[in-house]
Amino acid sequence: MNNTLKIIFATLSTIGTLTIIIVLWELAFQPLITTDNNPIPDPTPSLSPSPTSTPSPTNPNVIGISLEQRFSSGDRRLFTNQVNRNADQGIEAFKAGNYDEAYQQFRQAVNTAPSDPEVQIYLNNSQARKSGKPFILAAVVPVDTKQTNAEEMLRGVAQAQSQFNQQG
């Protein structure tokens, strides 16, 4: 863990367990561009502007994902490229406020997909909610042409969150 995170976690150590809210965000609200300089098309048809539209406060949906769909603390999958039945069941339990069941399902989901940082964070979040005194922190990761960039950042967040929760 780098020194900055150590300082932050040392400062927060008396607060309780750490809950992470994952936020997907475009860098400087720029449209996503591929290596051949063509905008990436929306994956699903929508009434939202095309990727070449200029974002504005009234038009924040440049990449086809509404602002509300970019936030999650365990109540939805943000990266849907992996199918994990236990993660889906954990999400349903988390949304229902059944954090014990969510924890069990996310634990199995992590065993099924140990390199998936999203389910590791959700496992940690359900554990923090079970403790009754979660400290909530947002982790903002960029949305770009490579989902792996955001996933790599979240692996570091998941590792730091796990270490923090084990210590406190």
| DSSP state string for 108-123 | HHHHH-TT-HHHHHHH
* Stretch 41-66: mean pLDDT: 46
* Stretch 101-128: mean pLDDT: 93
In this structure, the chain runs to a length of 168
> What predicted TM-score, i.e. pTM, was given to this entire model?
0.63
Q: Which residue has the higher pLDDT, 12 or 17?
A: 17
Q: What is residue 123's predicted lDDT score, i.e. its pLDDT?
A: 93
- Rounded distance, CA 19 to CA 146, Å? 26
Model pLDDT for residues 27-40, shown as the tens digit of each residue: 433 444 444 555 54
Q: Which residues contact 69 (CB under 8 A, 6 or more apart)?
A: 76
- Rounded distance, CA 134 to CA 85, Å? 26
- Rounded distance, CA 84 to CA 89, Å? 9
